[in-house]
Structure 1
Amino acid sequence: MNLLLLSNSRTHGRGFLEHALDEVTDFLGGRSNLLFVPYALRDHDAYTATVADALRPAGITVTGVHTAADPVAAVRAAEAVFVGGGNSFRLLKTLRDTGIRDAVHDRVRAGALRYMGSSAGTNMACPTLRTTNDMPIAEPDSFTALDLVPFQINPHYLDPDPSSTHMGETRQQRIEEFLEQNDVPVLGIREGAWLRVSDGSARLGGLSGARLFARGAEPREFVPGDDVTFLLSGTPRFDVPA
């Protein structure tokens, strides 16, 4: 199974996917055709064009799955798929309504399809969308996502700011609320960072780090280059040296 899970597509001061372009091309491994899933935003054509423009200099051709007469067949024929960010509730509802959810899950799990996600697309790789940052503007029939990794991810993770006068919950408090109801680890990936999963191993990369939360344990810090393969076991050991 091969996954590239980006926290975000846009980083301050850089173009769309510019911060991760080398990683994306390495991940695709010479594959020049990428199937893009634009369902997290309303304007599918414009979103696909943005991705195509960003990847064209790398020699990658992008096709929007929404243009296919049979989206499920398009997924079954693809070698690599990119699920873009936006609203994760709208995204999951459309993935499930079109049948793409099952097709992507089965082919990625079988090792036949490389999966790249960003933001909401990264949320989709988790067991559920319950650690999204989004408003529920659409109602999927289930919160079950693609279940490609056995833990949750919170993209765009923001650390608590001790100087802030905002009285709402911090991202850490929101994740701790999740852990009160769900005994599933949560990896908070900061802006500019990503998780690369390849053939049973997992490593953090990018411009920033990540923070791991689990019930009954103190949060744990990781930096780019750290091996986090232990997360793939489904029962992470917090006594493993960082």
Structure 2
Amino acid sequence: APPGQPAPKPPEKPHLQSKPRRRIQLPAAPVLRFSPTAWAKLLYFRDRRENEIGGFGVASAEDLLRIEDFVTVRQEVTVASVAFDDQAVADFFERQVDAGRRPEQFGRIWLHTHPGNSPEPSGTDEETFQRVFGACQWAVMFVLGRGGKSYARLRFNVGPGGSVVLPVEVDFERPFGPSRQEVWEAEYQTHVIPGALSWGDDLPYDESGRFGACTREALASHSVPDDWLAELEAMEPAERQLILDELAARPDLWDEQEVANEF
């Protein structure tokens, strides 16, 4: 600097403004949601008789885990099984396609009820889920027990595959329609055919995990006529319970030494 003049100030370093941190938005955990109308219809069918009932969840195009309707097809039911009519399923799929829906909206969520309080899938449930939905990229099995407890599992078959248990909610935040019990009753009468529980050579379900191997020899000393079982199923719940209580009070009807499993 010239004599007598102050030295120039060094240039200021530019001020670096810190950038705001980006918040990482984690994907929301999947939830199986029912519209109130779909949920009410499912409850109506569950409580109509003490049998299993099955059907398909029809999902929203925007959210494939939001069920807008519960739809049944012609089926034969007992207290332990549901058997869909193949032609009825094909007709249902065709109607859904004609309505403009994609297969993932109506053919991926299997809904059914249990007449008991436990919603845990049975051996038959697991076998059916694998056999019917095993080739789908993803599918959901949902079970609703009579006491109100539910079970939902999402299984995906892409990549390494896997499954996750889903929470279940009833979505009251969106508009929903009214109850249509007369229409539901007509659907029930048309589609739900009570069947007799068979204890013959071919069991309709596998409970070997709870009761041991269900072989013809194992059942030979415990067989019950099918017509008697059908009559028992047709009774009112209170009357049926009275009969079962009377049988339980008759130890002379069985050999307690042969009981291998306690409940």
Q: What TM-score comes out, normalization by structure 1 length?
A: 0.30
Q: What TM-score comes out, normalization by structure 2 length?
A: 0.28
Higher-Rg member (1/2): 2
